[in-house]
Amino acid sequence: MNTELLGSGIQIILMIALSYPLGKHIAKVFKGEKSWSDIFSPVENAIYKICKIDPTEEMSWKKFLGTLLTLNLFWFFWGMILLVSQHWLPLNPDGNGAQSADQAFNTCISFLVNCNLQHYSGESGLTYFTQLFVVMLFQFITAATGMAAMAGIMKAMAAKTTKTIGNFWFFLVRSCTRILLPLSLIVGFILIFQGVPMGFEGKASIPTLEGTTQTVSQGPAAAIVAIKQMGTNGGGYFGANSAHPLENPSYLTNMVESISILLIPMAMIFALGFYLKRKKLAYSIFTVMLLGYLIGVGINTWQETGGNPKIAGIDQSGGAMEGKEVRIGSAATALWSVSTTATSNGSVNGMHDSMMPLSGTVEMLNMQINSWFGGVGVGFMNYYVFIIIAVFISGLMVGRTPEFLGKKVEAREMKIATIIALFHPFMILVGTAVAAYLYIHHPGFVSSEGGWLGNPSYHGLSEMFYEYTSCSANNGSEFNGLITNTPFWNYSCGLILILSRYLPIIGQVAIAGLLAKKKFIPESAGTLKTDTATFGIMTFAVICIIAALAFFPTHALSTIAEQLSL
């Protein structure tokens, strides 16, 4: 057990240590400064030439958002067409069939919004062609979209007064070529050397010890697993995700994948400090996020390594091992569960549905807060909204006009921030309420067997609560006791995925664009400092209070009630 805890500690230390130089590199990439990554310039210039893009064009925040949304709309139709026709396309040695319209809608939207919620099993639900040209392609594009949006916000924050926030295409292409691609190649080669499949042959027939034959799926898994972790995507190549021995075969691959989940989200905070030349502000934000993350790691590690009191009297020296891989262990699974829900990653190396109730509480709260590092780019953008709210509240408390980085925060920005902050719990709670109502009063609505819950009572509510939380947070993990591949869940989750991805991005970029146009006010003795420990605590308190007010009643009826019943 001590060795397991040591492994968790080493992973956290490596995440932080590697994220700092990566953050410096990311800032250089987005600023257009010289770096070793200039070797990718010919590739980028070819992309610009083929697509007839002028990467030097400065965009207003409205044009920036219009370009972002138009690109995503194009890829939606691309994904839908390929998914419903994949049985006719090449690279399908196992003869997998097409997805239904409702399943293709959910799959396409899910991967397009960087959520990667899967209402299908990877081995049978997709072909090699759609794994590559829908799933892997979207995992690059959507991660780069979030990074480009944050780059635009950073440019707006750095300027004293400006009507433009940079060029979306410039940020998008560079995010792919100079950040995501090199890191994914490194991780991919490590996975290949550790035995993760990377080829295009069909299922292999393996003789078992019992004398029978078992078919084992393979394919280009290493390439897809690398970007799924590095881009906080999380979609499993195999149905069991990173609990599958071919997707995560050893403790080394587990460490590499676990570190990859948080590496860029952590680095983006340091990149903010380097880009704005305000390292102290970045350290303050990073500390608040790290504190929230470590509290979750501590609780889940305590819960999962301590065993289950319901089966007292049985040797549980390895911890509560239901739903976990022995080769990984309970501590590493607990760490992963927090890392994947503190970001918008959603991959799993153990079944969250089988974890202790308090662990489920932490996992959901991570997604409901949605600001402890979060997805690549959008993690800080969610935190940015809380900064605006905290600045406004703090300004009222001290009797000053609220300011952030020399710009007055006024009613318009505050209204947008408030709507975004409340929209997230609104989507989760309304979705859960509708699903619970239908399950109780119309159990045959989506299933001829009468319902879709794998478990009754408290845990059944947790399963539905978790599903919509995961959708709204663009996470993609699930409590897998829920039967979700039905028209109701596919369409309802798809709707929440669309709204919860794009409306916050629109609001966050709008706030940055509106503030950027305002007159810059130099700091004075009376300026509210936003890079201090005091303001960090204030922001932490605002985040926790909003989450508690919004979600505690439902947790009291689900995960907390289940914990008290043990």
Report the amino acid identity of residue 214: Q
List Cβ neighbours of 400 (8 Å cut-off, separation of 6 or more).
Answer: 526, 528
Q: What is the pLDDT of residue 351?
A: 92
Partners of 216 in the beta sheet? Answer: 204
Q: Between helices 251-276 and 181-193, what is the axis angle to 10°?
A: 170
Cβ atoms of 458 and 562 within 8 Å: the answer is yes
Burial 436-471 (b: 16+ CB within 10 A, else e): bebbeeeeebbeeeebbbeeeebbbbbbbbbbbbbb
For residues 187 and 223, give the distance between their C-alpha atoms in angstroms, rounded to a whole number: 9
Taken in order 211, 217, 220, 226, is the CA torsion positive or negative? negative
- Which residues are bridge partners to 215 per DSSP? 205
pTM for the predicted model, two decimal places: 0.94
For the chain, how far is it from start to end, CA to CA, in angstroms? Answer: 24
CA-CA distance, 277 to 459, in Å (whole number)? 47
Q: Residue 40 carries which DSSP code?
A: G
- Bridge-partner residues for 350, per DSSP? 324
Residues of the chain where predicted confidence (pLDDT) is lower than 70: 1-2, 443-451
Tell me the average pLDDT of the chain: 91
Are residues 64 and 510 in contact, defined by beta-carbon separation less than 8 angstroms? no
What's the rounded Cα separation, in Å, for the pair 392 and 511?
Answer: 13
CB neighbourhood size of 357 (10 A): 20
What are the CA-CA distances from residue 412 to residues 160, 175, 301, 422, 544 (Å)?
19, 31, 43, 16, 24
What three-state secondary structure class fits 114?
Answer: coil
φ/ψ of residue 114, rounded to 5: 70, 25
Greatest C-alpha distance within the chain: 80
Distance CA 10, CA 117 (A): 29
Q: Give the C-alpha separation, 378 to 374, whole Å.
A: 7
CA quadruple 376, 377, 382, 384: dihedral sign: positive
pLDDT at 446 (0 to 100): 53
- The secondary structure element, H or E, covering residue 213 is strand 213-216
Place of tokens 């794009």: 502
